[in-house]
């Protein structure tokens, strides 16, 4: 009896792990499908008599990108100054604080700008996407799209994904400038290096490759955020509570995915 129960517990546990694995693999598969379908509709939408609407993409661009500018500016400025403060503090140990620009420019452009932008967009727009699709699903709005002959991926997912793929690199470029500028302001105040000299040095140090490294990463983050938002939204079950759970999951998963991808990217590229 006792043994049977332990065995049951073990079986239950294995079953649970197995089921979670299957569910995880299923979600990843669903995400991959979503990416494939997005490109399918972008390319063949017209042939299927369902062209992707530019208006919808523009609308999403405003929601994802333009409205995020203030918060991203604030955070990029803060991070830029933080890097300057920390860099000067560290380099002072070697009396090399005038070399701080090296650390700042690479860190901002290659790491912090894409990372902070990705995290903000995951929190703002990834969650919104999951909530929107989840709500639409439980209200039968997704079914309504199907019966109206409107493919939900084309109608809901493509505009969001394309908007993120446009706006995330754009916002990253923006936070590059803001971060570098405010780091420069701090360097100027603390070390008396003129802004012009700081700018010259930064431009000299940074190559197009560094810039593209950051922007390329941010485009990958964009796909991750969109896909994770959509998959979580589409798997909502059971009412408003389910939408809340899916939203939270979407944010946690996309921020984790961003950070892990960032590390992998850095590892692969710096080899």
What residues line the site for another protein (CB under 8 A)? 48-50, 132, 135-136, 139-141, 143-144, 146-150
Contact 234, 137 (CB under 8 A): yes
Encoded tokens for 115: 């990372």
What's the half-sphere exposure (Cβ side, CA atoms, 13 Å) at 6? 2
Contact 221, 168 (CB under 8 A): yes
Least distance from C-beta 132 to another protein, angstroms?
Answer: 8
The nearer residue to another protein, 154 or 217, going by C-beta atoms, is: 154
The nearer residue to another protein, 59 or 97, going by C-beta atoms, is: 59
Sign of the Cα pseudo-torsion (126, 130, 135, 141, in order) = positive
Contact 87, 180 (CB under 8 A): no
Directed axis angle between helix 208-234 and helix 239-269, to 10°? 160
Q: How far apart are CA 119 and CA 168, in angstroms?
A: 10
Q: How far apart are CA 102 and CA 204, in angstroms?
A: 10
Least distance from C-beta 149 to another protein, angstroms?
Answer: 4
**CA-based nearest residue to 246, from 116, 129, 98:** 129
What one-character-per-residue DSSP string does 115-174 give? HHHHHHHIIIIIHHHHHHHHHHHHTTHHHHHHHTT--HIIIIIHHHHHHHHHHHHHHHHH
Least distance from C-beta 40 to another protein, angstroms?
Answer: 11
The nearer residue to another protein, 154 or 213, going by C-beta atoms, is: 154
Least distance from C-beta 47 to another protein, angstroms?
Answer: 8
Least distance from C-beta 226 to another protein, angstroms?
Answer: 18
The nearer residue to another protein, 149 or 192, going by C-beta atoms, is: 149
The nearer residue to another protein, 15 or 48, going by C-beta atoms, is: 48
The nearer residue to another protein, 25 or 144, going by C-beta atoms, is: 144
The nearer residue to another protein, 26 or 200, going by C-beta atoms, is: 26
Least distance from C-beta 191 to another protein, angstroms?
Answer: 51
* 252, burial (CB in 10 Å: exposed 0-12, middle 13-18, buried 19+): middle
Least distance from C-beta 8 to another protein, angstroms?
Answer: 22
Encoded tokens for 42: 């972008």
């Amino acid at each position: 009896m006792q043994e049977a129960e332990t065995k049951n517990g073990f079986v239950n546990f294995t079953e649970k792990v197995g089921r979670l694995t299957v569910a995880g693999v299923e979600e990843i598969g669903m995400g991959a499908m979503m990416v494939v379908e997005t490109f399918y509709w972008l390319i063949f939408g017209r042939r299927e008599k369902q062209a992707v609407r530019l208006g919808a993409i523009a609308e999403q661009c405003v929601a994802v990108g333009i409205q995020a500018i203030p918060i991203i500016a604030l955070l990029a400025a803060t991070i830029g100054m933080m890097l300057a403060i920390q860099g000067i503090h560290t380099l002072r140990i070697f009396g090399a604080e005038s070399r701080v620009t090296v650390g700042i420019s690479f860190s901002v452009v290659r790491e912090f700008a894409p990372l902070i932008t990705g995290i903000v967009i995951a929190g703002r727009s990834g969650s919104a996407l999951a909530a929107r699709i989840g709500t639409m699903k439980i209200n039968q709005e997704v079914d309504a799209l199907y019966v109206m002959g409107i493919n939900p991926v084309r109608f809901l997912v493509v505009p969001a994904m394309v908007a993120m793929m446009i706006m995330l690199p754009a916002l990253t470029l923006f936070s590059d400038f803001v971060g570098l500028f405010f780091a420069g302001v701090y360097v100027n105040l603390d070390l008396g290096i003129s802004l012009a000299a700081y700018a010259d040095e930064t431009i000299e140090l940074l190559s197009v490759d560094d810039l593209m490294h950051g922007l390329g990463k941010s485009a990958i983050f964009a796909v991750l955020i969109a896909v994770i938002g959509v998959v979580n939204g589409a798997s909502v079950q059971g009412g408003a509570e389910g939408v809340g759970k899916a939203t939270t999951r979407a944010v946690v998963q996309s921020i984790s995915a961003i950070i892990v991808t960032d590390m992998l990217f850095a590892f692969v590229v710096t080899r």
